[in-house]
Amino acid sequence: MNTAFSLEPLFRHSIGFDRFNDLFERAFEGTTTSSFPPYNVEKHGDNEYRIVLAVAGFTEKDLSIKLEGGVLTVSGSKADEKGADNVSYMHQGIAQRSFKLTYRLEDHIEVQGARLENGLLVIDLLREIPEAEKPREIEINAIGQDQSRVRQLESKQAERVEEPAQMRTSA
């Protein structure tokens, strides 16, 4: 009995989703992900996202944000200040350990900015889809007619919204 899990049926109707396969492989690796520091991934509207990390005790100098090849990497490293202040903890509940979190960003998502406020690192993201890649409607022509015409779906929907208003004014 073969117990291997095959993704072949998912890719039969997909063209150009090479990175999609990488995501599945990464999910099945079984590596445990770090839960430090705690974070939220928020959606604000259709195209706006925000990552919020709780980084109490870290300063701007201790944090690093890098974007490379569609992967956003947030890391933090605190210099060892124990020797300088000669502090010994009776209880240390605020973690000061180093961390590295990675987020794979979808195509056309750009980092708008980052700020550190009240112990929270806030990273704002925005999806900007180029006009050429927005959904389009392609007309089907019979043989012998002109070349096919392609229209943006959004413009067609706008025409439909305007038609009832024109009909009301003429009545």
Give residue-wise pLDDT tens across range 37-59.
999 999 998 889 999 999 988 99
pLDDT confidence tier of residue 131, bands split at 50, 70 and 90:
confident
103 and 145 assigned to the same domain: no
* Category of 121 on φ-ψ map: left (φ > 0), alpha (ψ -120 to 50) or beta: beta
- Per-residue confidence (pLDDT) for residue 114, from 0 to 100: 96
Q: Work out how many domains the chain is built from and give that number.
A: 2
For the chain, what is the mean pLDDT? Answer: 75
Based on its alpha-carbon atoms, the radius of gyration of the chain, rounded to whole angstroms, reads 25
What is the pTM for the complete model shown? 0.60
Which amino acid makes up residue 153?
A: L
148 and 75 assigned to the same domain: no
pLDDT at 66 over 60: yes
Q: φ, ψ for residue 22 (rounded to 5)?
A: -60, -35
Residue with tokens 């998912």: 10
Say if 54 falls within a structural domain. Answer: yes
151 and 68 assigned to the same domain: no
Please give the residue that has the higher pLDDT: either 111 or 136.
111
Side-chain half-sphere exposure of 10, counting CA atoms within 13 A = 8
- Per-residue confidence (pLDDT) for residue 36, from 0 to 100: 85
- Per-residue confidence (pLDDT) for residue 171, from 0 to 100: 40
121 and 70 assigned to the same domain: yes
- Per-residue confidence (pLDDT) for residue 1, from 0 to 100: 54
